[in-house]
A and B are shown apart, each in its own frame.
Chain A
């Protein structure tokens, strides 16, 4: 394997803490196998840094299979790296070439402050969900599941929206740092289902309000978010949110 190993230069954002200034630092790496995942390549670097007595690079990750939404690297100017439709942890080194220089940075958005190196604080997303991203049903109060048929088309559309993993790539990639794709995915999922309709108006108003409070920017329909979203969350959700929001705002004015 050694003779197939790639040589790369990594330029990684290092930042000690939320209040410290950060900078890009160069790290040469060798012997990178194309079968490694991107994060495994960083594991190898970190092992070497620890052995050299340096602090390893902090980055968020957990499931390493594209579903928990924890990993969040901005690679060569793109959220989750050069491939579309995948998360950082699903990116493999076979997507790079021997001799490449790779820039690795954290998500950048006012609403996502850096904690350390490549790790950011995305708790704003949790607070948006807390503002209304749920159906108010208590445990034990539900009727038989099949008493509530749902048109398959709507159910499938709700599922497509529900696939959002809350990674924040949409925010990181948007020049306005807008969270519209994320918010619209949840609004849509619940608005498409009969059980979600009951609170639909309040939900959209409250979630959008919280989004503004958190300091996310406005959506100007650039569409960059849809391109970088690893789960293919569609812009149609934003359109649906806008419709829901308008009609809810009208209703609440009455």
Chain B
């Protein structure tokens, strides 16, 4: 079987494979410890249904000789939305955003409850992990403490349980033939549609998906600005704008949760900047 490694950050191996003149993608757990999570991912993907977007079909799954879980899925011959944003015809962005929001809200409606202490436990745990980071001079602890305080003071009541992607960055959406395909589903510590919107904002506002690019050229920046502003308008239009603040709280929590996994100083500085920006937006009472 012919294979080619695709880029992957999560420690999983992602292979493009050819067998019997058919291409497919095999995603293999980095170690057996990760098996359960990758299996949840495969199940989430297999169960996925939407009127607005698609997923690669899950074809097969199993365990490798090393005891690692893997699953095979359809190969989508396209480019990630992060890359596509460089060249997308500017007038087509609106349609993409509408579809994304349409999907997120559609599944967000089937709501249940998230236990209140899920958030407080997570924020507490975050405090602990930042205590270990205090020695790292590049981490702006004053900022972090302000952010943690804001998260603690927030009531997370309106975060209702609903199905969501879990890591909806522009890198995990593939564009092919004007269709959007979700990949790389994640089991986050909470499932809520707000999380997905905050992840999109993380790219649109904080250019997270582009953090490793040498330069984000002007055409891409303008496209992301259009993406961001349409997204904000659509978000503001839902229930007279009551969700806008919640989304920024979710984004703040997301940004803080990246710190403990971050090793390089460049990314830390990037996180400091973006955390400060989101905090300022929240402190000023929205946009």
B is a partner of A: no
Chain B interface residues toward A at CB < 8 A:
none
Chain A interface residues toward B at CB < 8 A:
none
